[in-house]
A and B are shown apart, each in its own frame.
Chain A
């Protein structure tokens, strides 16, 4: 085990031996590093004013992704490169900065460094030959709030600058940066200790299992999109943090051809899961593109979204509808359970001390399976669902051979609408039977009223989403608003 962390601040090696394991990158930047270009707008990863870019070695090169510095733990930068708004202007403005100036893309300017960094990440995201579409720009900027401009000039700036393949200081010096990153790659588990509190970053199952035995009360943290808020909002003190994202096996997405299933490591980020999942289930892409925003999807993990037990996480409903199972591991061994059984009650999951979620096991779709997932929220992008509905249906000669309907937001846990399912199973897939199933659903749930939606709305919308699913599987009429409704 090695003490402390090393990372690149742009190109300068920063070595920190002892610091508060809960210290966020934003706090460190603004207080220790006195880099105050990066702003705090919300301290919960929802406004993007603190967006920074983190570079890491990937496939022999360096990959740049945007993160919310406010809930990014400094200790997790070990072996990575941190780039902030101060690093962009060298001899003159960076192209993304120049584009924003040219388009009058800033007014009060407080959100601007965050937009600059999101645009910078997009600029380095892929080799470009043509202008990005509006939907791609919107997706890249959904995690950055601006209250002044109405976004039009920022979108114009993106359109203007995201045309050429990246050519800037960072591409010019890519080889140097890669070598510098290689030099600081950790080989063993990292440990940070500060006033009796610890941060561990294990690199294997065995190390992780051992640490969980040694520190049974430890808090496991992956992307910190939840734990970060315990720090910034609740001022919670955690004695031991165990970071799971450097455990290589937890980062893998593999196909098990024998079992005909996809195996997704618990620490796979939403971003990385998106391609794998949407390859088999195209509906996951529009759903995941609305789960948080880029900065959150780069940090948050599939396992985290399950392990936190939230009744409104967006991954469990579709995964349960698709008969996903969990592989759970501890020093004592492994066990497998159906994902729907993992959620026992609100705030209570089937995870014993010392156990961690290793993988999500997802059966590949049968040829005849019809699958849809719908999300309702006050704002279309980057909002938490009021209702999330997932449907997996197999029809046999016009009759329902199997159906699984799972909802988020309707109960204390993600839950199947068993009454509705039973009303449909073995019946013809018809308008009358859908109406019967909608009525049956009224007994399946007693949804809550809160700020996201009333109980009445949740029930009515949940019923209507079943109707939407029916209409989509039977007719050609338009039954959904275009994802980004634009009169083109």
Chain B
């Protein structure tokens, strides 16, 4: 892959360098929170939770726990000296430990510190708690009926959809439900709290958001933010599940560390992790639309109802992002999009890769498939016809102009290179001769907006030190959860200093080094932190250049950093030599860097703005088959073409695309969260909650980064964010399954297949034809 046009030789940016921890991963030497050698005197923390969906604690007797040998301390909400609150957006609607009304099955009520984890876990089972159960709301339908919200409904509108629909030649309406999804990061939630002098606290946590966790811990301890330091070297996966959900456990550990004066550690068992932490929002989608004979959408009225759980958490921005993506790649001349944020007595749903975007896209992709079925057109043709582009067809329902659409090139390229049209005919021919097994094929695009839609979050900081020997210490506010952020930023820094990658030490994210950071989220980690790090590097380079210019009497523009050497007019020195000279001349070799994403804004009042700096694009073709006797399904082949701009690291980006797609396919086919009538989650471990395994990934899994990709905005080396967008490429799988079912009843309307398309849903959908 070509490099940015600096004319330098070190091919470090845009090259497929291995993950910085690859060797640590394969040898087991990479350290996660639970692997850190514990300080002497460490106590192990566990928690006890509610066993009803809504109610009041009539009596809570913890005396048997207190008396249990090895138990050192027990705390309840009364033992929180500061604010008993974990809400990330200051909605004050979710407590660390429940003090009054219980709002979901699995809500933490008390916590225990003991000499071993085994003792702590056995002890919490000894609690005697009587609940007075109260009527609960467990589903979207009930919440909608009762207008039970965690945040006010929001509406986006453009044009006059009702008139447009009324005047259309064709009308359709329908409903679709998408299921929740557990993050299933392999490393569960974990934190260690180590008391410091003056009541300060050092926290090691597996979190995507150290700054917020720092603030919440401080708030709970009734301290200022500067009393708490949070460090995270790496997470064993996160996917949004450690953006807000990591805080509570660190806070519980910190409260018990404060109470006992001893270091504490908490690590959730998988079942408790799944029961007591939030997940992807379930959605109920209803639509009404009008379109013309060619399948061009003329008017759309869309209702998105999300199951948010018992508190707001991040549900408002998540539901906003669902709205921002319910156009996906298609121009909607007249549209109204209404979003309802349902409060239910279930665990509070939270960020998950895509952040509402996947649900919004499912809505519009279903609509496109329904139009195609209604008019008996190839859905691909309907998709192409409705894409953004052409005279006056470039404004989104939130009034942002789409300036960078590449799908007019990318989609046909994928379709042609992967024989979409011939294969679609082959699928029809196969189905004609196969009464039991049916196939389906679908091509769906992704257009995903990059930037936090809450504008102020789009800022990042970095800290770079150059030591006397020329070695470099790199730090920034982004966290590493496996996505390769650290290596990408290091590549950018190595390129800027023109040194070898191994001269750079990538260091753990730490609130003491870079303050006030945003969560590593919204796919924006490398965009923002690379820019911040580059800013810091440029400051140091500028000082070195000024020093060298003065010292050797040459103009600054005669000084060049190339491939480990600093050329000072005719003279050349190693980077380390110049650094040492600069040190001796008392030049500062440390700098902070900062970045704020330009151009973006959004006004919620008018539902207008430019919430995104740019869009990331991609498309996928999936071919599936289903067994019409059992509903079993398999993905036969997948072809993906994805726009990563000018990829900073193609190997890392390819990994994000492949991994994102498979995670999306899991969400849409097999991952099912099932609660019983009491609101208790019954699929809370990998024995009952099934994420894809290697056999679920087809042998024909062809993933390419789109060669001409280049960000039209001046992002870091013209790359594009790649963390979330590929997940939504998996919508092609769901669409293809629906096509396979539809083949059983040709000429009829599109079958109503909800998600996940488990064998049961597929068979029942077939039965309903």
Contact = CB atoms under 8 A, between A and B. Distances in A.
Interface string B216-257: 000000000000000000111111000000000000000000
A481 interface: yes
A109 B18 CA distance: 13
A382 B690 CA distance: 9
Interface in B341-358: none
A147 B237 contact: yes
A473 interface: no
Contacts of B37: 34
Contact of B236 (A89, A109, A232): A109
B470 interface: no
Interface stretch (B525-533, B600-608, B652-660): B652-660
A461 B630 contact: yes
A370 interface: no
B26 A116 contact: yes
Given A113-B28, A451-B682, A481-B632, A488 B22 contact: no
A478 to B, nearest CB: 5
Nearest to A46: B686
A105 to B, nearest CB: 8
A480 interface: yes
B187 interface: yes
Contacts of A454: 760
B634 interface: yes
A147 B691 contact: yes
B635 A485 contact: yes
Contact of B686 (A42, A154, A482): A42
A439 B24 CA distance: 59
B627 interface: yes
Interface stretch (A10-18, A73-81, A96-104, A316-324): A96-104
B481 interface: yes
B287 interface: no
A107 B483 contact: yes
Interface stretch (B300-308, B373-381, B434-442): B434-442
A155 B661 CA distance: 16
A44 B271 CA distance: 10
Contacts of B682: 450-451
A44 B269 CA distance: 10
Interface stretch (B361-369, B406-414, B694-702): B694-702
Contacts of A97: 23, 26-27
B627 to A, nearest CB: 5
A378 interface: yes
A225 to B, nearest CB: 11
Contacts of B29: 37
A142, A150, A154 pick with most chain B CB within 10 angstroms: A150
A142 B695 contact: yes
Interface in B642-674: 651-652, 654-655, 658-663, 670, 672, 674
A106 B26 contact: yes
B151 to A, nearest CB: 29
Contacts of B637: 486-487
- A interface: dominant SS: loop
Contact of A107 (B435, B655, B699, B764): B655
B186 A477 contact: no
A227 interface: no
B332 to A, nearest CB: 32
B768 to A, nearest CB: 12
Interface stretch (A216-224, A250-258, A464-472): A464-472
A456 interface: yes
A460 B25 contact: no
A47 B186 contact: yes
B23 A93 contact: yes
B21, B26, B34, B686 pick with most chain A CB within 10 angstroms: B26
Nearest to B758: A378
Contacts of B658: 149-150, 152-153
A485 B697 CA distance: 9
B269 A233 contact: yes
Contacts of A376: 630, 632, 759
Given A44-B687, A380-B695, A148 B655 contact: yes
Contact of A108 (B27, B186, B435): B186
B630 A468 contact: yes
Given A104-B18, A378-B672, A110 B436 contact: no
A168 to B, nearest CB: 14
B239 A147 contact: yes
B469 interface: no
A386 B759 CA distance: 10
Interface stretch (B118-126, B540-548, B554-562, B578-586): B118-126
A41 B270 contact: yes
B694 A106 contact: no
Contacts of B34: 30, 36, 40
A233 B684 CA distance: 12
Nearest to A88: B27
Contact of A481 (B25, B26, B121, B627): B627
Contacts of B594: none
A47 B182 CA distance: 15
A84 B27 CA distance: 10
Given A37-B27, A142-B695, A148-B655, A482 B634 contact: yes
A147 B658 CA distance: 11
A169 to B, nearest CB: 14
Interface residues of A, number: 92
Contacts of A461: 629-631, 759, 763
A467 to B, nearest CB: 6
A37 to B, nearest CB: 2
Contacts of A435: none
B693 A153 contact: no
Interface string A138-162: 1101101111111111110000000
Given A149-B658, A151-B694, A481-B632, A106 B187 contact: no
A457 B30 contact: no
A47 B186 CA distance: 8
B764 A456 contact: yes
B186 A49 contact: yes
Contacts of A49: 186
Contacts of A88: 27
Contacts of B654: 104
A55 B556 CA distance: 66
B625 A109 contact: no
Interface string A65-98: 0000000000000000000111011000100011
A381 B482 contact: no
A124 interface: no
Contacts of A383: 690
A452 to B, nearest CB: 8
Interface string B608-647: 0000000000000001011101111111110000000000
Contacts of A451: 672, 674, 682-683, 688
A97 B25 CA distance: 9
Contacts of B23: 93, 97, 101
A38 interface: yes
B131 interface: no
A43 interface: yes
Interface in B694-717: 694-701, 703
A271 interface: no
A41 B651 contact: no
Nearest to B27: A89
Given A44-B687, A46-B687, A111 B186 contact: yes
B278 interface: no
B185 interface: yes
B65 to A, nearest CB: 13
Contacts of B670: 378-379
Contact of A148 (B26, B636, B659): B659
A113 B690 CA distance: 21
8 contacts: A49-B186, A150-B662, A153-B655, A378-B670, A451-B682, A457-B763, A464-B763, A485-B625
Q: Lowest 5 CB-CB distances: which A-B pairs, in order?
A: A37-B28, A108-B482, A110-B236, A485-B634, A109-B25
